[in-house]
Amino acid sequence: RTLTAYSGITTSDGAGDGTTLVDSNLIGRNNFITEKTILIMSGTAKDEDKGAIDFDNTDGKITLQGTGFRTEIKAGTIFRVLNISSVEMDVARIEAKIDALSGATGIFHEQADVALSFNTVSGSETNVFNLVVADTRYIIRSLRLKFADPGGETITVRLYELVNDGLIEVDSFEVTTANFGTYHSLMDMFGMAQLAGDNLKVTTRVSAGADIATLGQYSWAKTNV
């Protein structure tokens, strides 16, 4: 096939930010433009090219990918529609396929560790984490929590997971003046080496009294589903 699918001259000014161009000679034409490359042949954007993401055959307007050209495409600008997709579009398609493949094959993407430093309070539960983004599955690979001495009070660490697609408390662990000195792990608190699911939540709360300084860290990974 030929490289040039169409050569034309814009008949009116495009958008001021360079994201559209208009050729009324394309009114009523079939959409042979979307996902093709638009090459500017004259004017201040000469030799620039961008992928077309939309074509409106009611007014001949072509919408460009991303931020468009570096300047407004004025009336009288010569352009070509090339029978190739832009590099940006090819990269976007590849990234989409990689994301889909990663989710389909269960490949988890490791995330940076999250350091924890907060106060455990009595008035409400404080989130250690609450992982709940749609279409995402999580693994908590490790968790450590260390509390200051609660004195006569009791700190409760609660684990929430999905059961029948509802987030409920499935386990809990108590920290008192007798065991506060331990850097508690997932195994210590919940008898599990790791956590996995589409929504994972761990919280802390002290029974009463002053706030309790809390330190910790967790390692995690996620994938698309």
Q: What is the CATH number of the domain that holds 130?
A: 2.60.120
DSSP characters over 179-218: TTTS-EEHHHHHS-S-EEESSEEEEEEESSSS-EEEEEEE
82 with 154, same domain: the answer is no
Contact 88/66 with Cβ under 8 angstroms?
yes
Residue ranges in 69-221 assigned as alpha helix (H): 87-104, 186-190
80 with 119, same domain: the answer is no
80 with 124, same domain: the answer is no
Number of domains in the chain: 2
40 with 131, same domain: the answer is no
87 with 24, same domain: the answer is yes
Residue 118: closest CA among 153, 139, 145, 152: 145
Q: Mention every residue, 6+ apart, whose C-beta is less than 8 A from residue 211.
A: 119, 120, 121, 122
84 with 145, same domain: the answer is no
79 with 144, same domain: the answer is no
Domain end residue (candidates: 103, 119, 149): 103
Domain residues for 117?
110-224
Domain end residue (candidates: 77, 103, 129): 103
Residue that has been written with the tokens 């009114």 in this structure: 27
Per-residue pLDDT of the chain (225 residues; tens, 9 = 90+): 568 999 999 999 999 999 999 999 999 999 999 989 999 999 999 999 999 999 999 999 999 998 999 999 999 999 999 988 766 667 777 776 766 665 555 688 999 999 999 999 999 999 999 999 999 999 999 999 999 999 999 999 999 999 999 999 999 999 999 999 999 999 999 999 999 999 999 999 999 999 999 999 999 999 988
Q: What is the pTM (predicted TM-score) of this model?
A: 0.57
Structure tokens at 11: 């008949």
What does the alpha-carbon distance between residue 40 and residue 11 come to, in Å, rounded to a whole number?
14
What does the alpha-carbon distance between residue 155 and residue 11 come to, in Å, rounded to a whole number?
72
115 with 84, same domain: the answer is no
